[in-house]
Amino acid sequence: MSAVPKPLLTPHEYLARERLAETKSEYLRGEMFAMSGASREHNLIATNVSAELRQQLRERPCEVYQADMRVNVRPTGLYTYPDVTVVCGEPRFEDAEVDTLLNPTVLVEVLSPSTADYDRGGKFAHYRRLESLREYVLISQDRSLVEHYVRQGADQWLLTEQRGLGAKLVLASIACRIALEEIYLKVQFAATDEES
């Protein structure tokens, strides 16, 4: 006996359901994928990054969104919720609901054990298709390590790593600098994790 396949949703059907849902789900190729909750460390890091960027960008034509701003990667059809999103210039949205951004400049993901491989691999493959995207940042939550990708051309990205609380993350596309000690403010590491 074969299983009956689930009916696939259109993007319009997904958005209609998602806008009424109490929990968030990503969407790709007709399927919705429930998102899990985040740890204390994850929330502290995302809030710290968002607060630092908001402060530095407050007098510039940029907006900072944390976790609830959905992003649509139109070339691949992915709908997702980055941990922190920055858009500079005029934001473009999917529709009149103004809850699905199309043109992020910088995306930040805080790595969780369950999502780290996807954030580095499959999700980044989607994000790279966004013409507006200039920088992609992955932040570890179990040690002071930031992986920073910068667009070098249409299909080229340069990876640098910042390690240790004395390092700084420099986001050249939006002229912002954040010390890792600010990113990890109030986050406690196990002694062995901080050293690696």
Q: Give tens-digit pLDDT for 34-44.
A: 998 889 999 99
CA-based R_g, the chain, Å? 17
CA distance 64 to 181: 20
Q: Give tens-digit pLDDT for 112-125.
A: 988 999 999 999 99
Q: How confident is the model at residue 3 (pLDDT cuts 50, 70, 90)?
A: low
> Mean of the pLDDT values across residues 124-131?
98
CA distance 72 to 175: 25
Whole-prediction pTM value? 0.93
Looking at 61-131, list the stretches that DSSP marks H as alpha helix, in order from N- to C-terminal side: 116-120, 122-127
Q: For the chain, what is the mean pLDDT? A: 94
Single-letter code of the amino acid located at 179: A
Q: Which of 14, 8, 174, 10 is nearest to 100 (CA)?
A: 14
Strands 100-101 and 70-73: parallel
Q: Give tens-digit pLDDT for 168-192.
A: 999 999 999 999 999 999 999 876 5
| Longest Cα separation, the chain | 62
Give the right CATH number for 39-195 from 3.10.20.30, 3.40.80.10, 3.40.50.150, 3.90.1570.10.
3.90.1570.10
- Answer whether 78's CB lies under 8 Å from 107's CB: no
Q: Which of 189, 150, 153 is nearest to 170 (CA)?
A: 150
- Answer whether 66's CB lies under 8 Å from 45's CB: no
CA distance 29 to 183: 34
pLDDT at 1: 52
CA distance 59 to 164: 30
For tokens 């993350």, name the residue: 169
Q: Give tens-digit pLDDT for 80-108.
A: 999 999 999 999 999 999 999 999 999 99
Q: Give tens-digit pLDDT for 44-87.
A: 999 999 999 999 999 999 999 999 999 999 999 999 999 999 99
CA distance 137 to 28: 22
